[in-house]
Amino acid sequence: MRLTKFGHAAVRIEHDGTTLVLDPGKWTQREALDGVDAVLITHEHDDHYDPENLRATDAPIYTIGAVAARIREGAADLAERVTVVRPDEAWSVGDVAIRAIGELHAVIHPDLPRFNNSGYLMTLGRTTVFHPGDALTGPGVPVDVLLAPVSAPWMKVSEGIDFARSVGAARNVAIHDRVYSQVGLGIADTHFGRILGAAGLEYVRLSDGTDLR
């Protein structure tokens, strides 16, 4: 498995000739979509969904109904490539098995509407990888690699750490890291690293375009 971080919440995963990209939103480098076999989108917010990036590939798009509706309304040329997935639905792309996890975005503020969101649990040979999108909803099964949100208007750092500890993945790769300044991210990295490390769990925040090793 090769896992590469590409801007904010976007991750590219390659396994046995199959390449996926998750959440290539507006802060994602276009090269993340080169030669992909499928795109997975967790929810409709612009930092996770960008139609211009989706036009850079002709790969199928797997996502929830709310994103499909937004595509039909604002990017109809992409609509025929969309497959709508529902909570707990399972499917495969090449040799990668995928399951949709959860249904709702985390609460941003009680006065704001609640959005839909789906995480994706991927099985790549003997390795499982989980991308939660904008939610702290765990997969309910053991995970080898968690793509862990570290900064968001809907989350405190302590909540992100507790979520990662509850999932219990041996390796935790930071995502959702464009909301804080570099100073703020340094503080978050220190707390994630120290507390997860005390639990015997690895934490790393990759630079854009670099791989998990």
Q: Is 202 helix (H, G, I), strand (E, B) or coil?
A: strand
pLDDT digits (tens, 9 = 90+) for 42-63: 999 999 999 999 999 999 999 9
Q: How confident is the model at residue 213 (pLDDT cuts 50, 70, 90)?
A: confident
Q: What is d(CA 198, CA 102) in angstroms, rounded to the nearest whole number?
A: 28
Sketch out the chain's domains with CATH numbers.
2-204 (3.60.15.10)
Q: What is d(CA 207, CA 213) in angstroms, rounded to the nearest whole number?
A: 13
pLDDT digits (tens, 9 = 90+) for 95-118: 999 999 999 999 999 999 999 999
Q: What is the pTM of this model?
A: 0.97
Q: How confident is the model at residue 161 (pLDDT cuts 50, 70, 90)?
A: very high
